[in-house]
Every structure is written in C-alpha cells, then in structure tokens.
Amino acid sequence: MKRRICIWFLTAVALALALPAMAADTKKDGVADFDMHAAYVRYHFQDNDMDFTFGSVVLGGATNGGVEIGEAFATAAKIKDGDAASWQDEWFKMAKMAEARGEKSLAAGHKVSARQQLMRASNYYRVSLMAMLSDDPRLAERGQKSRELMRKAGKLMDPPLEYFEVPFEGTVLPGFFRAAKADGKPRKTLLMLGGGETFAEDLIFYIMPQAIERGYNFITVDLPGQGNMPLQGKFFRADMWTPVRAVVDKVIGRKEIDKKRLAVFGISAGGGFAPQAAEHDKRLKAVVVSSCVADAEQLLATWSHIKKGTPAEMATWSTFHANTVKGMAGRWNVPADNVPGLVAANKGFSFTPANISAPMLSVVGEGEYSGAEVQRQQKLCIEGSAKGNRKLVVTPLVEGASNHCIMENRSLMAQEVFDWLDKALK
Amino acid sequence: MALELSARTFHTTAFLFVLIFCAQASLAAEGAVVDPHAPHVSFHFQDKEMDFAFGSLILGATSAGGCEIGEAFATAARIKDGDASSWQAEWLKMAQRAEVRGDKALAGSHKVSARQQLLRASYYYRAAMVSMLPDDPRLTDTAGRSRALMLRAGQLMEPRIEYVEIPLAGGWMQGLFRKAAKGVKPAKTLILIGGAETYAEDLYFFIAPQAFARGYNFLTVDLPGQGLTPLEGKVFRPAMDAPIRAVLDYALSRPDVDRARLAVYGISSGGGFAPQATMDEPRIKALVMNNCVVDAAPGVAKMAVAKATPEVVAGWTSFKRQTNQGIAWRFGVDINNLPGLVEANEGFRFDPARVSAPALVLVSNGEYGNEEIRRQTALCMDGLASAHKKLVVTPAEEGASNHCIMENRSLMGQEVFDWLDEVLR
C-alpha cells in the first residue's frame, strides 16, 4: 500500500516537473535556434547538457568498449542533476574502481579482461573532465591518467594501439595509430578528427573498433585546441589544415598505409577541419563529415547559448552547462567571461567547397538537421561540387540516430560511413 | 521567471523527499521477498519489471552487440510504461528497421555492417517477445525471425556460428555453437545454461563475444522449457541434468572441443540446472553458477508469484502479469495460477556434496541482500565437495547489482573468465 501511494505521488510530481520542462524544451529546440547539445531523446538527467553528455558521449560509447551499462547508471544515480562538481567526482570514483579491476587482471596475466577494464577506466577518467574549467589543475592530471591507461590497454591489443607524437611548432601533437592487421600490408586508412571538445581517446571510442573490423587502419590525434593542447598554449586556429598536414606528413610513409586510400573523417567542429584539410592536401582521398561546417562563425552565430552567454546569464545556468560552454571558449583562447566572443574567434574557420576534388559524404542526425543553419551549411557543402561526387545522409530519429555526430548510435553511423567509404576508396 | 523557479524548487524538494521515502520502503521489502527482476538501479521505466527488462536484458547487451543506445532509448521513449502490447509493438518496429538496414548492407556486400545490424535485429525481435503470451499468434513467427537473423549474422562471422541440433528423447534441442578459432585444434569450451525465461539468443549476447575474445569455444541450447520448446509440450522438469548431459555428449563428440578443459556455466534457474548436471559427472572440469540455486522451490515460495492470486495479479501492470504468466507456461503451470509455480518447482534441486568439480559462485550484491539467496549461497558454498571453490559478490557501486549481473557483462566476464583461465590451465 505504501508503495502504491509512492508510485502515484511520484508520478504526479514527476508530471508536474516534466510538463513545464517539456514545453520549454519544445520552444528552445525551435528550428531557428541551434543547440549542438540538444538531446532529442531523454536518457537520465533533466539538465539538457548533462543528459546529452551522458546519453550520447558516455552511453553511446558502450558499443565500442568505452562504458558498461551498469557502471554508467550506477554513476548517474549518484550525480546531482546539472552539477558539474558532482559529475566530476562520481566519474572519477568509477574510473578508479575500473582501473583497480584492470590492474588486478593484468597482474594475473588475464590480458583480455585487463584490456577491457583499462579501456573503460581510461574513458571514465576522460568523462570526469567534462565541464571542467580551463584553469582546473585536475585537467592535466586526469587527462594524463586517461591517456596512460589507454596506452596500457593499447599494448594488450593485437595489433597494438601505438602512441605517437607529431612535432609541431615547438611542441608535439599526441596521437594514436592502429593497424587493421599485423601483417604490415598497405591498407585503407581512416584519419579521424575530433571537434571543439574532444580528446583523442573520444575518437577511439567513437569509431576505432568499427574501422579495424572493416580492415581500415585507424589514426587520430589531438589537434591544437583539443585534448590538453590548450595547456601548452595551442588553441584552435583558422588554419586547422596546417596541423592536419603535419600529421599526414608524419604517418604517410608507414608501410601499412595505402596512399591511394587515405580518408579523413571529421566530427563536430571537425566537420570543418576535415574538408579544409582536404582542400589543402590532395593526399586525403575521401572526406566524411558529421556534419559539414562550411563556415563555423556563421554556424556559431545561431547558437543561442553562445550569443547569450554573458556572465549574468550563465549565472542562471546549471554549473554543468555553464562550465561546458566556458571550457569550450578556453579552447579558442576566449576568456570564460566572454563566451559570446567565441563567434568572432571562429572567423575564418571555413573552406571553399568548390576547391575539394575528393568525394565527400556528410552524415547528419535528423535532430541536428532540423536546424535551418545546419541545413544551409550542408547545402553549401554538397552543392558546391562540380563533379557530383558528394552525398548527404540524414539519419532518422526513429532509429535513435538524431543527436550531434550520431554519437548515440555508432553502429548505424559506421554503417553509413564505411559502406560509403568502401565504394569511394575502391 | 522567479516564481517558476521557486515552484520548481519546491517540486524538486518534495519529489526528492518522496523518492527517499519510497526507496526506504522498497529496501525494507527487498530483504524478505525474492525478486529476481528487482532493478537495483533505475534505467528508464517506473514499472520495475519493465525497467529490469529494458536495463539489464536489453541495454546490458550493448557491449555484446545486441543493442545500440540510440535505438533502445528511441524505442523506450515510445513505450507506454508498464504496457505489454506497447512494448511488443515498439520493439517489433525497431527490429524491422534494423533488419532492413542489415539487408541493405548485405545487398551491397558490406559484411561487417550487415552482421552488426542483423545481430541487433535478431535481438530486438527477441526483446519484443518479453511479455508476449504463449497463445499470441505472433510468438512463433517472432522467435523464428530472431533465430533466423542470428544464424544469418552468424554466417558473416569468422568462424561462423553453427546451428546445432542435439538429440534428446526422440526429439531435438536447438542450439548455437561457435568455435574459438578456425581449424580443429581442441580449445577450451564454455557451455552456457540459461534459466526460466531464456532463449539461446539471450545467452549468446550474455557472454559469447567475451568467450571468443578469450579463445573459448561457445555452446548454448534451448533446454526443454526454454525458447519455444513449451509449444511442443516440453516444459521444465526436475531432472534438468538429462538434457544437459546430452549437450555434453554432443560437445565431447567434436574434435575442436578440448575434453580436459570443458566448463559449464548456469545463470538464473540455470544456477540450479548446471550443478545438477555436474553431480557425479567427471566430464565437467569447471562449474560456474550465477547464482547457486540449491533448491528452487523455497526460493520461488518467497517470490511475489507465490501470493499472486487473481486479485493480486489484477493490480499488476500488463507487462508484469504477462511476463510472469510466460514463466508459468514454461513450467507447465496454468497461466492463471501463478502460485502453482511453487509446487511446480518442487524437486528442482541438487546435492552440493555430489559436486566435486572446481566451482565458482557469482552473486550480485543486489541479490545477495536477500535472506533466501544468502541461505542458498551458504548451503552451496558449505556443501560443495569441490576442493577448489570460490564465492564472488559483485558490488552495487560498480553497477553490478542486478540478477545475473546482466547490466555489467564486462565485469561479469572478467570474474568468470579470469577464474576459468586459472582452473582450466
């Protein structure tokens, strides 16, 4: 009886809470207003930004070994909705537990078990960095920890995941390479580029297993602005093609890479970096984007969270949301109290679609595609070809493939990407 | 704006208060009642039975390729909480969509893409069958599609999944076998025994990819009572050891199975079936139970079904009612007589003193909080004749608290295989 009263009361209160929130969501997600982190399906949290991160970035990695369901929900159950510090603390605790499991298996020589738990531990340390401000000392410490564990897990793979560094303007860009097979034969290769908020590890969990299984070598890096590069004074810049070219210079000589079949795939802001790199580097033989960013400044100008992100406005946001946006600004060397400055900081983050001769695929989640500016930019990219070798795929909401970069359905995303690449790189 | 905020704050506070109150109420109840489907962490639905199926059975299969996050949540968003027909209809729709994708990839010769989508399609058809009643005209067709898709996907693996039929008492048991590697070199072998609600497909997604990654052959079957076998009049019987011994005969007839390194692992009710088959059975070299069911009837007597009179059942959601009715059907019990499940489980027991194979007992922390589970675990651990035996209680704080630890298969796999690796050296 007690339980039944509880259920009724909970339902009533939940409805009272949810209805105004849902109404507000509908208004906010209107076509004119671009929200990169809009969650088109609710996962767990009422805070939209936290729910997006939990559902798409974290849970979405389950397919590729980044997270276990039970661990994710046990962690989520302890997190205070919308609270950045609580998120960071709870994921850090889970990271330590997974790490201890991995080390225990490794000590006893159980390599498969060790690899699996260490990979998740690496990801959980990484996830604990979400919504962390640029000057937080834990950023360097935990970023390092996440990378060490990935490298440790990488040694337990066959072929191993190799860590490498690309000398670049007085520092190095850290990266990972994994061959599809150990035989050293030249094969198709995917160079994976992240966006405005990624670490190289994210990209491993985004798509590496899918690439390897299909016989593609996999490469990813932290470009300036990504990972912990801002701690070394390396921020996002309008000529992102320059560091990408340095990466290609570094790896192109490897015997495992078939020079005729090197593809680049960029997600999020990387949807601008990848085609820009291909515009300047004809060694990139195919380009995939999710989605295409022909001009980042114009796209960001429609993102209301950035336009309105004054300190007074952000003080009314959840700490998770506000700090996520501030953290991103830091990657462009924009001060946290001048988030609207991100728009101007993206001036020149563009490319000329007509200059790209390689075939190009843009994959966009239906939810994201509902934004007018996103649609306009896809049109610019796809129609700006003289050769007719470009394709746009909008992945359906009804198949759970609607969010930013389709992170919540990586099997479906990979099907679209690789089935297209298989033909483009024949 | 300020007014709206304060109203929200008030609601939130009230909500949290009631949440704490209810959590305490349900915790108090959990100590005495055995509820294998109790979700110790909330995933999506308010209906606990549905939330367990969604979180542990379906979402839990993601790391094994049985589910994609976006697809699962897009489906869940359309399901009416607690409603069986809505659950079935939405999973059927998602299954069809994944199947279309798989077929499209296959037509374009994209084998990896095809395999992945077909595997999920197989499991979404299986998901649709949870809470489907025995006389539902869609049941046979849906199960057939699920299995056919699993086998089609299995053709795209290297080595392939083999469909096997194992003779038993004039009939056949259907199963799946996959070799650890190409060739006939004898390898370690894991035979997975399911429980009162499983199909062979559930067992594939429970652990098969983990077995392959570690160099184990994998074999599972629908025992009498499992899968669609009740449609042929085959229901669970107290002597589950006979069909399992037939599975052993089959396994040991294969040249790729290493006779010295054969393990049997039983989950849910299979935690009683597997040790029953291991009594006085020297061919089983290692036994894993998740968890150990020494005597099923006293456990069932403490479940909600024991007191589920028609009046009580009328207060259940259709999802909970039909899920439990499906279990009754598998034991040959009238679906309108759920308390009959207690009597039907009489004799489903084994004598731990007659089990001497090395044994591992896994229990999730959530289940271990129950008195009856603790009692049976103690009976098991104290009674096993095994020189080598080990009990592992997996921690709630690591998200390993539900029935069979289905929601954390990587952690479960670690415990099982790290132990097996040492026992089957």
Q: What is the DSSP letter of B403?
A: G
For helices A138-155 and A84-107, angle between their N-to-C axes, nearest 10 degrees? 30
| N- to C-terminal Cα separation, chain B | 67
- What confidence score (pLDDT) does residue A39 get? 59
Size of interface A-B (CB pairs under 8 A): 191
Pairing of strands A187-193, A257-267: parallel
Q: Give A374's pLDDT tier (boundaries 50, 70, 90).
A: very high
A contact test, residue of B410, B415, B420 with most A CBs within 10 A? B410
Judge whether residue A8 has pLDDT over 80.
no
Q: What is the DSSP letter of A55?
A: I
- The answer to whether the complex's ipTM is over 0.95 is no
- pLDDT per residue over A271-280, tens digit each? 999 999 999 9
User: What is the pLDDT averaged over residues B81-105?
Assistant: 98
- What confidence score (pLDDT) does residue A42 get? 83
What is the sign, positive or negative, of the torsion defined by CA atoms of B103, B109, B114, B115? positive
Flag if A41 and B21 touch (Cβ within 8 Å).
Answer: no
* Dihedral over alpha carbons B141, B146, B151, B153 (to 10 degrees): 130
| pLDDT averaged over every residue in chain A | 91
So where are chain A's domains? 1-28, 31-45+160-424
B contact test, residue of A7, A73, A91 with most B CBs within 10 A? A73
- What confidence score (pLDDT) does residue A33 get? 56
Q: Is residue B221 within 8 Å of residue B173, measured between CB atoms? A: yes
- pTM equals 0.91
Q: What is the CA radius of gyration of chain B?
A: 21
**DSSP letter string over A349-401?**
-B--GGG--S-EEEEEEHHHHTSHHHHHHHHHHHHT-SS--EEEEEEPGGGT-
Cβ neighbours of A16 in B, within 8 Å: 11
Q: Is residue A193 within 8 Å of residue A225, measured between CB atoms? A: no
**DSSP letter string over B293-335?**
-SBHHHHHHTBGGGG--HHHHHTS-HHHHHHHHHHHHHTT--T
- What confidence score (pLDDT) does residue B36 get? 81
Cβ neighbours of A6 in B, within 8 Å: 18, 21-22, 25
Cβ neighbours of B42 in A, within 8 Å: 73, 77
Domains of chain B by range and CATH?
43-157 (1.20.1440.110), 161-295+347-425 (3.40.50.1820)
- pLDDT per residue over B383-397, tens digit each? 999 999 999 999 999
Token pair in block for residue A27: 């208004």
For helices B84-107 and A410-424, angle between their N-to-C axes, nearest 10 degrees? 10
Judge whether residue B256 has pLDDT over 90.
yes
Cβ neighbours of B113 in A, within 8 Å: 214, 414-415, 418-419
User: What is the pLDDT averaged over residues B152-171?
Assistant: 96
Cβ neighbours of A411 in B, within 8 Å: 68, 116-117, 120
- What confidence score (pLDDT) does residue A304 get? 83
* Residue carrying the six token digits 């209301």: A304
- What confidence score (pLDDT) does residue A74 get? 96
Cβ neighbours of B120 in A, within 8 Å: 411
Judge whether residue B15 has pLDDT over 60.
no
Is A43 within 8 Å of chain B by CB? Answer: yes
Judge whether residue A205 has pLDDT over 80.
yes
Judge whether residue B299 has pLDDT over 60.
yes
| N- to C-terminal Cα separation, chain A | 66
Flag if A400 and B417 touch (Cβ within 8 Å).
Answer: no
**Closest in A41, A101, A117 to B77, CB measured:** A41
Nearest to A223 by CA among A210, A212, A236: A236
User: What is the pLDDT averaged over residues A126-139?
Assistant: 97
A contact test, residue of B81, B113, B403 with most A CBs within 10 A? B113
Nearest to A336 by CA among A309, A317, A313, A318: A309
Query: To which CATH superfamily is domain A31-45+160-424 assigned?
Result: Alpha/Beta hydrolase fold, catalytic domain (3.40.50.1820)
Judge whether residue B2 has pLDDT over 50.
no
User: What is the pLDDT averaged over residues B279-285?
Assistant: 98
Is A41 within 8 Å of chain B by CB? Answer: yes
Pairing of strands A217-221, B389-394: unpaired
Q: Give B34's pLDDT tier (boundaries 50, 70, 90).
A: confident
